[in-house]
Amino acid sequence: MQLDEILTEQRNHRSTHIDRESTLDMVATINREDQRVARAVQKQLPQIAAAIDAAFPKFDQGGRLIYVGAGTSGRLGVIDATELQPTYGLTANQTFGLIAGGQPALTETVKSAEDSPELAQADMAAVHVTTNDIVIASAASGQTPYTVAALQYAQEQGALGIGFSCIADSQLAQLADYPITPVVGPEVITGATLLKAGTAEKMVLNMLSTGIMIKSGKVYQNLMINVVPTNGKTFERAKKIIAEATQTSTLAAERALDRAGNNVPLAIVLIETKGTIAEAKELLATTNGHVSQAVKLSDDRH
């Protein structure tokens, strides 16, 4: 498909006079187009849910969440992977992003990197992709050579492939095990896919990663429970999370946290089940660290 035939590269007839609009009208035009993004993503909810359901068992069993892309798409993937680490207590080996051109491409354009399938294959080989891994490949056009080649390599190794693009029947969509294709239409500024396409990608990545974390037991109720207390601020946050999760006082939360050796999920199970440390540890071990399942298992036993 030629560049001018791709929907994300076509002109938007609703913004052809944006350069002559007042500032208020200009931002109103951009805002109206942004509203189309949420509707486009909404149409993809079944595909997003299916991708989450396929991905979380792999992540639960030690698989890694690997993001791949070029330019804006690649940078957004790196951001999502990086933010997951402190939010859910993950290591840099559990989730990370690969971007065409490597580290320098995060802050500057690396010429021709996105056009190189060979570079993608080398990058994927370097991280030793396995059948347990989940690879999220993103490209607004769905045909960026680096991204397509990276996903193809990953799937040849047996990894689960999720493909994000804003074109319904793109190369990436055809290749992916789980294609997610919110069709956001032409950009306000022709070809500037950091706008609607970038917003759509951020929304989809948020749903995918948050969903995988919830399903993998990193969330209890709506609280992020894998915070690791390493300083005064995080210790106070941990106490607050435990107190809110268990509807108890911060003093009781602090005592439970101390008994649990600063392990927040263990402290929550300890309070919720009113058992011993050994019993709480056994419940978490049996449920692979899922606090809600551990609490339910305890209730069922009693």
Q: Is 114 a catalytic residue?
A: yes
Tell me if residue 9 is catalytic: no
Close Cβ partners of 64 (under 8 Å, ≥ 6 residues apart):
93, 94, 95, 96, 132, 133, 134
Is there a contact between 106 and 75 (Cβ–Cβ < 8 Å)?
A: yes
Looking at this protein, which amino acid is placed at residue 302?
H
User: What count of Cα atoms within 13 Å lies in the side-chain half-sphere of residue 283?
Assistant: 28
- The catalytically annotated residue of 83, 244, 254, 279 is 83
d(C-alpha 271, C-alpha 279), whole Å: 12
Cα 48 to Cα 126, 138, 154, 195, 206: the distances in Å are: 28, 14, 20, 21, 11
What 8-state DSSP symbol labels residue 224?
A: E
Active-site hit among 9, 33, 114, 187 = 114
DSSP state of 162: E
Residue corresponding to tokens 């978490």: 284
* Residues taking part in catalysis: 83, 114
